[in-house]
Structure 1
């Protein structure tokens, strides 16, 4: 055991407090709308913190550990090219604003409004299959982390019987997440995720302080500068030898950010929980600042681990970590656990417990969100469309809870049996493409293009999953055929490139088939509840279009305007620095000494901003939380608000 009694007290105390909070929320969950969408009562700060934590996840943390341990600071450089895409998406409300206007509870419910009931079932099934397979490895990631970070034995003895530790840890973690989800549905998920987000941010700031007491900035930069030529950890323009996490990886992610906006349904409950379309939009605007501290630590922790493992002055401690890593038989798990094992050699008692609790929080926040999403999608979009007689509220909630348990059981056995052959990010891209390959075209076209047709949607979704399944099959079978291995050791397209092929192919097919089959334009105003179709209490005027959507609209308060302009200045500054330095490097070249100063400057700014946003978002989140409880105490239950569709709109209208 590497954790002391102090560490375990922190872990058990925090998990116990979260469990009590989840149980408390059960009294507010009285209807299907409460369970699926928190009755659409969430404010921007509660949304942005909770959804951000749900998107973090232990698996995503380990995936970032892999990426930055291999590519260093340089890997984060190309992420700056995403800045203008992110700000356009956030400030325009791209996809999200219109989706919230439809009042759909799941994306597939929107597909029934826009296309057909049969397509809803088809898309719902694809989303569920893609999502559950993608989620299937999550329990194994956190279990492996806890075993190697905490120093659990591979087996333990109970009543003379040897028991494998790995499935026991998975079972405990999944049980906690299932309890949270079943207790209060989306209400419990959102509230506990908010608390976990604030806790994790504070812990990460403390860990940053500890890391800089262990490693000086000079130690860090000197070690990173000694990386081999073509595999620079500091200079993003000297990474020709980094085959996976390079410029092209981030370029594909840039396109993906636009194409797959709202496409992934792992956090679909958050997409419909905002109290208004504008509030949903503002939550996205705040998103970058929310994740600042988290992203900074996902960068610093693996880099400090790299310094420990490669700096001569730390050779003795590094050897202890290396011996522990070498005891792991699976080479892919070795890569995943390198940073956690190294961190366990760095952090003192108390801080070890804080990091362990933060990682458990990251795991639970994603687990409960994904269990809620995939369990809900199976009932809402695969089973219920076949029901001629609507379920009662009690029956509906029972079905949802059974489905959630079923997803957890699948994830347990998938994690136990499936061997991972690629980096985690590549696995996420590949399995996600089963659904995301075609869904981007179908979602964007359905919300913005009147001439999009059901036939085009069927063709695009089918194209996407066929390419994804082909890629997964080739990745698995490639090593078994010597003739293929002689050509290249593994399948030449990694998950990122295969995803791009699926995206572009689906767009071409969607547009072509829609143009060939469109007989009359679709009535978007009715589906979006605009103009004469506006609902009482909702925005009745037409929102701004085109570039004007990026500007100030009538929905903005004074506070919204301040946030908006600050967001523009913040993101614009970083992007122009990115463009300027990139041109400088390509035209004249940049001395290696520049990069140590640049990364030191960027980390300092991020840390200062992080402290400010923690205080700001804590205040805003608590305000939203109290307002949520007040609203839920007095709201009226609408039994028709359960995901049904009538005449291309939600039956709850």
Structure 2
């Protein structure tokens, strides 16, 4: 990298720090820290949400997996965009009915009681910590591949900046930095694809140079394993805490629907861009490791000056997701566990500082997790097995059907989580079907049977 590239990176990191520092003055209450005062209109919601969920898995992970398996992985990954379109249209507006809500636990408590809230809080933290770890690993991968620093110090440096602005600025800082990062990823990664296609000779030459299996619908997966992967991605991040929290930040249902649906369509385009970059890397640099495919293109093909901007864009796409999950963990712990079960009388000022302290502690834990997992995609799939098989089905029944049966919700959470764990770590995913799909099936069955056996409406679990 040239002096100009380094200057671009320094300016980018400087902007993040400035945003974090100047938003400290705006964070006076927990509402400010958690949901930015419920004042996020749809254009900002769209940009912030897109930046939040287009993280390391969507960029480095998607490019690396398509580098290895072809477009079939991208077709499975499209499930994320489809999920945002469906949730945005049918579910997001209904979340605005829950006045004063900050977390998924607020919704679960209203429908299913305190036990469901506690379980949701614990699982929310586990999910967010796992995905945060995946983003920390992605930060290390980008910095290692582009700046030449060892992976562990790279993770520490990159996550240190995230912890700084998200812990002190809360949701205000996260959303403002998301908008900056949205501009970076929305402009510079498509520019990188245009440059890369020029180097390979154009789209026709790229397709001609690829193995035939890389261009098929199912690739090396086969139909049923690919369908199972699609379902895992479809449900894995459905209504996870950061996205629900963003939705609660909007002023009304119209803004929630419009922003989330648009972000889903934008995601489909973004996945195609990063997937195609993975295929370009396969043709030009077939010997690199999968997660290094995208950084290698940036370093080898882009001119001086543009390299620094695209490295900033790669860091932006990862850091925006990391900051969102970091903020959510602090908010979930305080709202769903600390307040109802430990100290409901904490003062507003101490509550904000508790959320900030938790952000710092969780950031350190995410670094440890990032060092222990083999790849970004593995970290994401491990994390999804904690959410989709436990919370998604009861939550959708609550929001869409207004179900109120605490026994059914708790039974579904326990059954789905148990089956997903056994299927993944004991049976080693038989038939090539991942544990998320098996767990969701058990979750749905347990919810339905318990609901029928205990009555359509029972008192919420205490």
Check whether TM > 0.5.
Answer: yes
2:416 matches 1:464: yes
Alignment of 1:346-385 (within 5 A): 346-385=301-340
SS in 1 for 2:55: helix
> Is the CA contact 2:82–2:264 (under 8 Å) kept in the aligned structure 1?
no
Which of 102, 105, 108 pairs up with 2:102? 105
Structure 2 distance, partners of 1:469, 1:73, is 29
Alpha carbons of 1:17 and 1:207: their partners in 2 closer, same or farther (altered >3 Å)? same
Alpha carbons of 1:149 and 1:471: their partners in 2 closer, same or farther (altered >3 Å)? farther
Alpha carbons of 1:277 and 1:78: their partners in 2 closer, same or farther (altered >3 Å)? same
Which of 176, 187, 195 pairs up with 1:191? 176
Deviations 1:41-94 (A, max 9, x none): 11111001111111112343121012211233454456678887765544xx32
Q: Please, which runs of 5 or more residues in structure 2 have no aligned partner?
A: none
Instruction: Select the structure with the greater relative contact order (CA < 8 A; seq sep ≥ 6).
Output: 2
Aligned to 2:381: 429
Alpha carbons of 1:249 and 1:358: their partners in 2 closer, same or farther (altered >3 Å)? farther
Alpha carbons of 1:130 and 1:296: their partners in 2 closer, same or farther (altered >3 Å)? closer
Alpha carbons of 1:81 and 1:467: their partners in 2 closer, same or farther (altered >3 Å)? closer
Structure 1 distance, partners of 2:227, 2:362, is 33
> Is the CA contact 1:452–1:515 (under 8 Å) kept in the aligned structure 2?
no
> Is the CA contact 2:60–2:293 (under 8 Å) kept in the aligned structure 1?
no
Deviations 1:470-495 (A, max 9, x none): 245338xxxxxxxxxxxxxx75455x
2:284 matches 1:308: yes
Deviations 1:410-456 (A, max 9, x none): 1122223x142xx6435423322222202111101222335541011
2:205 matches 1:219: yes
RMSD: 2.8
Structure 2 distance, partners of 1:12, 1:276, is 38
Q: Please, which runs of 5 or more residues in structure 1 have no aligned partner?
A: 153-164, 311-321, 326-333, 476-489, 524-647, 649-653
Structure 2 distance, partners of 1:168, 1:357, is 18
Aligned to 2:135: 138
Alignment of 1:324-473 (within 5 A): 325=288, 334-387=289-342, 389-416=344-371, 418-420=372-374, 424-450=376-402, 452-473=404-425
2:234 matches 1:234: no
Per the normalisation by structure 2, the TM-score is 0.90
SS in 2 for 1:101: coil
Structure 2 distance, partners of 1:263, 1:89, is 8
Aligned to 2:42: 44
Aligned to 1:617: none
Alpha carbons of 1:512 and 1:303: their partners in 2 closer, same or farther (altered >3 Å)? same
Alpha carbons of 1:275 and 1:304: their partners in 2 closer, same or farther (altered >3 Å)? same
Alpha carbons of 1:273 and 1:253: their partners in 2 closer, same or farther (altered >3 Å)? farther
Considering only CA atoms, is the larger Rg found in Structure 1 or Structure 2? 1
> Is the CA contact 2:232–2:384 (under 8 Å) kept in the aligned structure 1?
no
Structure 2 distance, partners of 1:141, 1:410, is 15
Alignment of 1:111-190 (within 5 A): 111-152=108-149, 165-190=150-175
Which of 405, 421, 442 pairs up with 1:505? 442
2:162 matches 1:205: no
Aligned to 1:94: 90
Structure 2 distance, partners of 1:80, 1:428, is 15
Alignment of 1:565-604 (within 5 A): none
Alpha carbons of 1:271 and 1:257: their partners in 2 closer, same or farther (altered >3 Å)? farther
Deviates more, 1:36-45 or 1:341-350: 341-350
Structure 1 distance, partners of 2:451, 2:429, is 33
> Is the CA contact 2:57–2:377 (under 8 Å) kept in the aligned structure 1?
no
Greater helix content: 2
**Per-residue deviation, 1:256:** 5.2
Structure 1 distance, partners of 2:417, 2:435, is 11
> Is the CA contact 1:371–1:407 (under 8 Å) kept in the aligned structure 2?
yes
Deviates more, 1:293-302 or 1:376-385: 293-302
Aligned to 1:518: 455
**Per-residue deviation, 1:351:** 2.3
> Is the CA contact 2:405–2:458 (under 8 Å) kept in the aligned structure 1?
no
**Per-residue deviation, 1:98:** 1.7
